Structure 1
Amino acid sequence: MGQTVRLPDPVLSRGAEPYVRVRDLERDLKDRVDGEVRFDPGSRGTYSTDGSNYRQVPLGVVLPRTVEAGAEAVAVCREHQAPITSRGGGTSLAGQTCNTAVIIDWSKYCHRLVSVDEQAMTCVVEPGIVLDELNRQLAPAGLMFGPRPATHGQCTLGGMIGNNSCGSTAQAFGKTGDNVARLEVVTYDGTRMWVGPTSEEEYDRILAEGGRRADIYRRLREIAGLHADEIRRRFPDIPRRVSGYNLDQLLPGGPFDVARALVGSEGTLVTVLRAELRLVPVPKAEVLLLLGYHDIITAADAIPRIAAHHPLQLEGVDDKLISYERHLHMHPDALAQLPEGGGWLMVSFGGDSTEEADQRARALMDELHGSEHEPHIALFDDEKVEGELWELREAGLGATARVPDMPVTWEGWEDSAVPPERLGGYLSDLRDLFGEYGYDEAALYGHFGQGCVHTRIPFDMITADGVAAFHSFVRRAADLVVSYGGSLSGEHGDGQARGELLPLMFGPEIMEAFGQVKAVFDPGDRMNPGKIVAPYGATENLRLGSEWTPDDPDTRFSYPQDQGSFQWAVMRCVGVGKCRTHTGGVMCPSYRATGEEEHSTRGRSRLLFEMLNGHADTPVTDGWRSTAVHDALDLCLACKGCKHDCPMSVDMATYKAEFLDHHYAGRVRPAAHYSMGWLPLWARLARLAPGAVNALTHAPGLSGLIKRAGGIEPRRAMPSFARARFSDSYRRRGPRGTGERGDVLLWPDTFTDNLTPRVGVAAVRVLEEAGYRVLVPPRTLCCGLTWISTGQLGIAQRVLRRTLRTLAPILRRGTPIVGLEPSCTAVFRDDAPNLLGHDRDAVRLAEQTVTLAELLTRTDGWEPPRVERDAVCQPHCHQHAVLGHQADQELLERAGVRLRTVSGCCGLAGDFGFTAGHMDVSLACAEHELLPAIRDADPDTLIMADGFSCRTQIEHTCHDRRPVHLAEVLAAGLETG
Structure 2
Amino acid sequence: MDSLVRTPAARPRRPREIDVEPLRRRLEETVDGEIRFDTGSRAAYARDGSNYRQVPIGVVVPYTLDAGVAAVAACRARDVPVLSRGGGTSLAGQCCNAAVVIDWSKHCGAVESVDVAGRRITVQAGAVLDAVNHVLEPEGLMVGPRPSSHPTCTIGGMIGNNSCGASAQAYGKMSESVLRLEILTYDGVRMWVGPTDDDEYARIQAAGGRPAQIYRQLRELRDETMELVRTRFPKLERRISGYNLDQLLPENGFNLARALVGSEGTLVTVLRAELAVVPRPAARSLAVLGFEDIFAAADAVPAVAGHRPLALEAMDDRMCRLARQERPDDPALRDLPEGRGWLLVQFGGDTAEEALERAHGLMRDVGQHATHTFLGDPAKEDELWRWREASLGVEAYPPEGWETYEGWSDAAVPPERLGTYLRDYEQLLRRHGYAESALYGHFGQGCVHGRLPLDLHTDDGIARYRAFAEEAADLVAAYGGSLSGEHGDGQALAELLPRMYGDEVVAAFGRFKAVFDPRNRMNPGKVVHPNRLDQDLAQRHFYPLEPRRKSFDYQRDHGRFGHAATRCVGIGKCRQHTFEGGVMCPSYRVTREEEHSTRGRARLLGEMVRGELIADGWRSAAVRDALDLCLACKGCRSECPVNVDMATYKAEFLAHHYRRRIRPREHYSMGWLPLWAALASAMPGPLNALAHTPGLARLAKAVAGVAAERELPRFAKERFTDWFKRRGPVRPGTRGKVVLWADTFTNNFDPHIGQAAVSVLEAAGFEVRVPPVALCCGLTWISTGQLGVARRVLARSVRALRPWAESGVPVVGLEPSCTAVFRADGPELLNTPDTRLLSERTLTLAELLESGAPDWRPASRGGEAVAQVHCHQSAIMGYDADRAVLDRFGIRTEVLDAGCCGLAGNFGFERGHYDVSVACAEESVWPAVRAAGPDQAILADGFSCRTQIAASRTGRQARHLAELLATSLSRPDRG
TM range (shorter): over 0.9
Number of aligned residue pairs: give it. 968
1:586 — aligned with what? 583
Corresponding residue to 2:784 among 787, 790, 800: 790
Residue among 957, 961, 964 paired with 2:959: 964
Alignment of 1:524-923 (within 5 A): 524-545=519-540, 549-582=544-577, 583-613=580-610, 618-837=612-831, 839-858=832-851, 859-903=853-897, 904-923=899-918
Q: Which amino acid aligns with 1:335?
A: L
Give 3-state SS (helix, strand or coil) of 1:227's partner.
helix
1:35-50 to 2 correspondence within 5 Å? 35-50=33-48
What is the Cα deviation at residue 4 of structure 1?
2.8
Contact 2:359–2:375 (CA under 8 A) maintained in structure 1: no
Aligned counterpart, 1:398: 393
Aligned AA for 2:890? G
Give 1:254 shift.
3.0
Match for residue 314 of structure 1 among 303, 312, 315:
312
Which amino acid counterpart does residue 608 of structure 1 have in structure 2? L
Tell me the residue number matched to 1:191. Answer: 189
Change (3 A) 1:100 1:145: same
- Residues of 2 paired with 1:228 and 1:759: CA distance? 77
Task: Return the alpha-carbon distance in structure 2 between the equivalents of residues 546 and 598 of structure 1.
Answer: 23
Say whether the 8 Å CA contact 2:859–2:970 is kept in structure 1: no
Shift of 1:2: 8.1
Shift of 1:925: 1.2
For residue 867 of structure 1, report the CA deviation from its aligned partner. Answer: 3.4
Q: Match of 2:181, SS?
A: strand
- 1:301 aligns with 299
> Any idea what SS the aligned residue of 1:417 has?
coil
Question: Is 1:509 the counterpart of 2:507 in the alignment?
Answer: no
Once residues 452 and 366 of structure 2 are traced to their aligned partners in structure 1, the CA distance between those partners, rounded to angstroms, is 33
> Could you list the per-position Cα deviations for residues 700-749 of structure 1 after superposition, in whole angstroms to 9, with x for gaps in the alignment?
11100100111001000111000000011102224433222111110100
8 Å Cα contact 2:406-2:451 kept in structure 1? yes
Q: Map of 1:156-167 to 2, 5 A cutoff?
A: 156-167=154-165
The answer as to whether partners of 1:431 and 1:440 remain within 8 angstroms in 2 is: yes
In structure 2, C-alpha distance between the alignment counterparts of 1:629 and 1:331, rounded to whole Å: 38
The 2-side partners of 1:116 and 1:804 are apart by: 60
Using a 3 Å threshold, how does the CA distance of structure 1 residues 685 and 382 change in structure 2: closer, same or farther? same
Shift of 1:18: 5.7
C-alpha separation in 2, matches of 1:125 and 1:735: 70
1:5 aligns with 2:13: no
How far the C-alpha of 1:958 sits from its partner, in A, is: 3.5
Please, which moves more after superposition, 763-772 or 329-338? 329-338
CA contact (8 A) 1:46 1:598 kept: yes
Classify the secondary structure of the residue corresponding to 1:459: coil
1:388 matched to 2:383? The reply is yes
Any idea what SS the aligned residue of 1:960 has? coil
- Alignment partners' CA distance in 2, 1:658 and 1:665: 11
User: Are the counterparts in 2 of residues 225 and 252 from structure 1 also a CA contact under 8 Å?
Assistant: no
Give me the whole-angstrom Cα distance separating, in 2, the residues matched to 1:613 and 1:317.
36
**What is the TM-score with the length of structure 2 in the denominator?**
0.98
Deviation at 1:810, TM superposition (A): 1.6
The alignment status of 1:481 with 2:476, answered yes or no, reads yes
Separation in 2 of the partners of 1:438 and 1:739?
A: 61
1:91 equivalent in alignment to 2:89:
yes
Gap change, CA 1:328 and 1:205, over 3 Å in 2: same
Label 1:751 to 1:6 Cα distance change in 2 as closer, same or farther (>3 A): closer
Deviations 1:325-373 (A, max 9, x none): 1122277232023111100000011111111111211111111133xxx
The letter of the residue matching 2:20 is V
Across the aligned residues of Structure 1 and Structure 2, the Cα RMSD in angstroms comes to 1.4
**Which amino acid is 2:515 matched to?**
V
Select the residue among 361, 364, 382 that pairs with 2:362. 364
Tell me the amino acid that sits aligned with residue 31 of structure 2.
V
Cα distance change on mapping 1:31 and 1:734 into 2, 3 Å:
farther
1:518·1:533 contact (CA, 8 Å) conserved in 2? yes
2:351 to 350, 353, 374: 353
- The answer as to whether partners of 1:334 and 1:392 remain within 8 angstroms in 2 is no
Query: Which residue among 208, 211, 216 is the counterpart of 2:209?
Result: 211
Structure 2: how far apart are the matches of 1:578 and 1:671?
A: 34
Q: Deviations over 1:809-831 (max 9, x none)?
A: 22211111000000000000001
Give the whole-Å Cα distance in 1 for the aligned partners of 2:165 and 2:954.
46
1:383 CA displacement: 3.6
Answer whether contact 2:721 2:772 (CA < 8 A) is retained. Answer: no
Matched with 1:376 is 371
The match for 1:424 is: 419
For structure 1, which segment, 806-815 or 237-246, has the greater mean C-alpha deviation from structure 2 after superposition? Answer: 806-815
Question: CA separation in 2, counterparts of 1:935 and 1:691?
Answer: 32
Equivalent position SS for 1:873: strand
Range with greater deviation from structure 2 (165-174 or 354-363): 354-363
- Deviation sequence 1:260-313 (CA, Å, 0-9, x none): 000000000000000000000011111010011111000000000011111000
User: 3-state SS of the aligned residue for 1:738?
Assistant: coil
Instruction: Give the 3 Å change call, closer, same or farther, for CA 28–546 of structure 1 in structure 2.
Output: closer
Amino acid at match of 1:436: R
Q: Structure 2 vs 1, CA of residues 546 and 608 (structure 1 numbering), >3 Å: closer, same or farther?
A: closer
1:906-931 CA distance string (max 9 Å, x none)? 11000000001111111111122211
Alignment-mate amino acid for residue 256 of structure 1: F
User: Using the alignment, how far apart are the partners of 2:134 and 2:377 within structure 1?
Assistant: 21
- Percent pairwise identity: 57
- 1:757 & 1:401 partners in 2: Cα distance? 45
Q: Is the 8 A contact 1:752 1:759 kept in 2?
A: yes
Check the 8 A contact 1:874/1:944 in 2, yes or no.
yes
Equivalent-residue separation in structure 1 for 2:312 and 2:940 (angstroms): 42
Q: Which amino acid aligns with 1:9?
A: A
Check 1:250–1:174 CA distance in 2 against 1; reply closer, same or farther (3 A cut).
same
Give the secondary structure class of the aligned counterpart of 2:502: helix
CA contact (8 A) 2:178 2:257 kept: yes
Counterpart CA distance in 2 for 1:559 and 1:192 is 51
| CA–CA distance in structure 2, aligned partners of residues 563 and 147 of structure 1 | 39
Single out whichever of 548-557 and 156-165 deviates more from structure 2: 548-557
Contact kept, 8 Å, 1:461 with 1:546, in 2: the verdict is: no
Does the CA-based 8 Å contact 1:2-1:21 persist in structure 2?
no
SS in 2 for 1:7: strand
Give how far 1:252 is off.
3.5
- Name the CA shift for 1:415/1:15 in 2 (closer, same or farther; >3 Å): closer
Does residue 134 (structure 1) correspond to residue 129 (structure 2)? The answer is no
Letter in 2 for 1:137: V
Q: Is the partner of 1:899 in helix, strand or coil?
A: strand
Q: Does the 8 A contact of 2:122 with 2:273 survive in 1?
A: yes
Cα displacement string for residues 91-130 of structure 1 (whole angstroms, at most 9, x for unaligned residues): 0000000000000001100010000111111000001111
Post-superposition offset of 1:621 = 1.0
TM-score by length of 1: 0.98
Provide the C-alpha distance between the structure 2 equivalents of 1:453 and 1:291, rounded to a whole number of angstroms.
18
The alpha-carbon distance between structure 1 residues 553 and 608, as it changes in their structure 2 partners (threshold 3 A), is: farther
